[in-house]
Every structure is written in structure tokens, then in C-alpha cells.
Amino acid sequence: MPSLFPVPTARRIDQQRLFSVALIPFAAAIAMASTVAATGFTASPLGETSSTLGFLLDFIKLCYLAVAMAHLSGAIADRTCGGMAAGLSMDEFDAPEPMSRDEFWRAFPNHVDGAAIAGALTLLCVIAGSLVG
């Protein structure tokens, strides 16, 4: 019996995509929070102050939430508009042959996996922030 929403199976793990979903947003949040904290301004405009760890968790939460929304919107766009081949270069003459749509969805993490991973990491930051603050 065919299902309405089939669950895809991953044929391979794309380490570059996994790295960009899980570790790059964390590194970006650390860099942004460090830069802002170096200025000495860690209070919100509403007058709420937070600890340094709480301030850092807010930046990490922001980065992972952005990644989750980007992957979720990519999945919606791919399913509704047909999507496009996932190539790294927009220059059609120098770019290698982009991977097919089916190949893109058969790798882990695809858009749905990326949104789930980033969403889960955002939730962990929210939980950690409530324990800290």
C-alpha cells in the first residue's frame, strides 16, 4: 500500500551538509557573541540583562533558528515549485554537473533533516537558557 508521504531513505551521509547544519552556525554564533560582548553591551533594549552564558545562548539560538527556517523554506520551495539542482556554483560554465533532485533528497541531511537538526539544537538552547537564566 503506497503511503501519501513516503519516508525517504538515506543512501549516503553528506559530511559537508551535516557540518554546515550542526557546527557552522555554532561557530558563527560564538564569533558574533564574542564581537558584541567585546564592546561591553550585553543588555537588551528592554532593560533585561543576562549573564554572559545566557547572552551567548541567545546568539546560538538565533543562528540555529535561522538555519532551521532556511532548510524548512527550501523543502517547501522544492516540493511546491519543483526546486532546482543543488550545485555550489551559479556559474554554468565553471560549475561541475549539479546533483540531481533525487540524489539530493537521498543524502543525509536533506532539507527536512537539516530543519529537524537545527530545530532540535534551537530547542536545546532554549532549555539551557531557561536553566541558566
Find, among 28, 27, 26, 9, the residue nearest to 110 by Cα.
9
> Residue 20 falls within a domain, yes or no?
yes
Residue 44 lies in a domain: no
Separation CA 109–CA 96 (nearest Å): 21
For the stretch 51-91, pLDDT in tens is 778 778 888 999 999 999 999 888 888 778 765 555 445 55
- Boundaries of domain holding 71: 13-38+52-83+97-132
Say how many domains are in the chain. 1
Say what the pLDDT of residue 53 is: 80
Say if 89 falls within a structural domain. no
